[in-house]
Amino acid sequence: MDPSQKSFLGARLFVIAALALTAWALVFKTGVANTDEAGIVLQLPAQVGDWDGLDLLFCPDRNCGGQYLAARLETPGVCPRCGAALGNMNWAERAMLPKDTGMVRKYYARAGNRDGIHASIVLSGDDRSSIHRPQVCMTASGHEIVREQVIRIPLEERAAPLEVMVMDMSRSTTNSDGTPAIQTTFYAYWFVGKDRETASHIVRMAWMAYDRVVHGVSHRWAYIALSGARDPASNAHFQTIADFASRLHPALLKPD
Ligand SMILES: [Zn+2]
């Protein structure tokens, strides 16, 4: 059995156990308190290993849809195309996410603009509905998920590896001369709650139900996503994701 299958079996058993416990606790416990506690810091470092990070800004106007590297703007914070004030969410995110959702993002690249990675952290606000099943957003935006698997990334700071869900995606597009082309990308993610971490959306939902019912609390969960281009003929992006995520992970830990 390959490691990703084993991890999924474990996840299923956990979900069943958590639901059983939740059902039991429902009988005995009442009342849920929202806490402001999150499992990570809402901040992306300026550097991750040998990657340098750049700030990205988005125009809130749906018809404009401009996105810019902050450092290259002539007038800071203003859309050069339409004059709107730029922010860190695009129009779709602004429309879909509750107002108190926290979000940070950066574009990272190695020397010579190699191995470019868009990194983002979404931290749920009070109503906890900020985080969706990522697959839904991807297919809605025209991406086809070609393959989906969990990779296990060794970490220096602890014995247990970091589990990250990697989706290989492709999308039909056109070249500048009008000929059809296929764009191949990856989208990788994991979730972090207070003292919790998982690559599975279902496991995250089970933890939320468990904490709500058994401990009477609802913590703020964070969703960490990495995306970039991939070579369709190789798995080289797995190593790129592992190199990046293993260096990002310690930078997101909360100081005790
Ligand atoms: Zn604009």
ipTM of the complex in this document: 0.97
Query: Ligand 1 centroid to 85 CA: how many Å?
Result: 8
Question: 144-153 and 114-123: which strand pairing?
Answer: unpaired
Distance of CA 160 to the CA centre of its chain: 20
pLDDT digits (tens), the chain, 256 positions: 454 555 666 777 778 787 777 766 665 555 666 666 778 888 999 999 999 999 999 998 889 988 999 989 999 999 999 999 999 888 878 887 888 888 899 999 999 999 999 999 998 876 666 666 666 666 666 788 999 999 999 999 999 999 999 999 999 888 889 899 999 999 999 999 888 899 988 888 888 888 888 888 888 889 999 999 999 999 999 999 999 999 999 999 877 6
| E strand or H helix at 140 | helix 134-140
CA of 63 to the centre of ligand 1 (A): 8
Which helix (H) or strand (E) covers residue 198, if one does?
strand 196-198
* d(CA 97, ligand 1 centre) in Å: 20
Ligand 1 centroid distance, CA of 81 (Å): 5
Distance CA 69, CA 80 (A): 12
Q: Which pLDDT belongs to residue 37?
A: 75
pLDDT at 1: 45
Around ion ligand 1, residues with a beta carbon closer than 5 Å are: 59, 61, 64, 66, 79, 81-82, 84
Contact in structure between 224 and 244 (CB atoms under 8 Å): no
Q: Give the SS3 label for residue 202.
A: helix
- What is the H or E stretch that residue 60 is in? none
Tokens describing residue 149: 């698997």
CA angle 37, 102, 111 (to 5 degrees): 110
- Give distance in angstroms: CA of 94 to centre of ligand 1: 14
Rounded to the nearest angstrom, the distance between the alpha carbon of 134 and the centre of ligand 1 is 26
Q: 118 C-alpha to center of ligand 1: Å? A: 21
The continuous run of DSSP H or E covering 164 comes out as strand 162-174
| Distance from residue 67's CA to the centre of ligand 1 (Å) | 8
* Calpha distance 110→170 (Å, rounded): 24
